Amino acid sequence: MVLIDIHSIHGEDLLSAKQPVLVYADDTRQNEHNSSGQKASQETRRSISVDINEVVLLYPDAKNITLGWLGITPVYRFTDNGQMILDASTGTLIDSISESLALELAIGSLKESKEVKQIELITENPPSEIAFRPLPLWRIDFFGVNSPTLYVSSTNGEIVTVRKNTWRIFDLLWRLHIMDYYEGEDINNLLLNVFSVSGFLAALSGLVLLWFRLFKNKLEGATS
């Protein structure tokens, strides 16, 4: 597995890094060049009508305010008695992520379009592959050789994690390696410590037996 790039194992190669250019509604400047030196097209520009100062005025107790994307919609994310999402174009609150929106976000985040296999909302008993990530989450499975799965937060719409068969095989081998078959995270578990100590004692006893064997041969050679 070490021959495979870790970013590929994590499924990062499936996600698109492209994002529309954030532009304020009163910005009359010419199109800026993107990182590749090409001009950003008008189709990738989305206007922001709500300034961050307005967000602070509307929600004076807001903390950790960030400007980002919800699909192609610019949004402010912040905490104010819970996670809040504010549409930066209209100023309206987005209460929750619906199934259709979660599906749109998942499909839009992929580099290449894939056929959706199934979608479900996980509110309890999450699969082990998402560890202790907060619920609820939308799980979107896609058809494909690697059976990719995207997990989308139903609270803020972010892509929480990506899983595919390469990662699942890696995770199985990792669990076998650290001998933590339940959570796959504890590298100091009792079973691993028992086998480590047993292996050390076995190696030590082998060295002791070897020393006695050599010492015995020397004694026999001296007396003969």
Q: Which range of residues forms the domain containing residue 197?
A: 190-224
- Is there a domain that residue 131 lies in? no
**Dihedrals φ, ψ of 16, to 5°?**
-85, 135
More confident residue, 181 or 169: 169
Q: Per residue in 44-69, is it b (16+ CB within 10 Å) or e — as a string? A: eebebebeeeebeeebeebeebebbb
pLDDT attached to residue 72? 80
In a domain, 199, yes or no: yes
Q: Indicate the Cα dihedral angle 215, 219, 220, 224, nearest 10°.
A: 150
Nearest residue to 11 (alpha-carbon basis) of 111, 97, 116, 104: 111
pTM over 0.75: no
User: In this structure, is residue 146 part of a structural domain?
Assistant: no
Does the residue 123 lie in any domain? no
What is the model's pLDDT at position 222? 61
Mean pLDDT for the chain overall? 82
Q: Is residue 211 part of a domain?
A: yes
Asked if residue 33 has pLDDT above 60, the reply is no
Q: Is residue 50 part of a domain?
A: no
Banded model confidence at residue 161, pLDDT cuts 50, 70, 90: very high
Band (140; pLDDT cuts 50, 70, 90):
very high
Please say if the pLDDT value at position 214 is more than 90: no
Number of domains in the chain: 1
Within-domain flag for 221: yes
Please check whether residue 173 lies inside any domain of the structure: no
**pLDDT tens-place string over residues 100-109:** 999 999 998 8
Q: Is the pLDDT of residue 218 over 70?
A: no
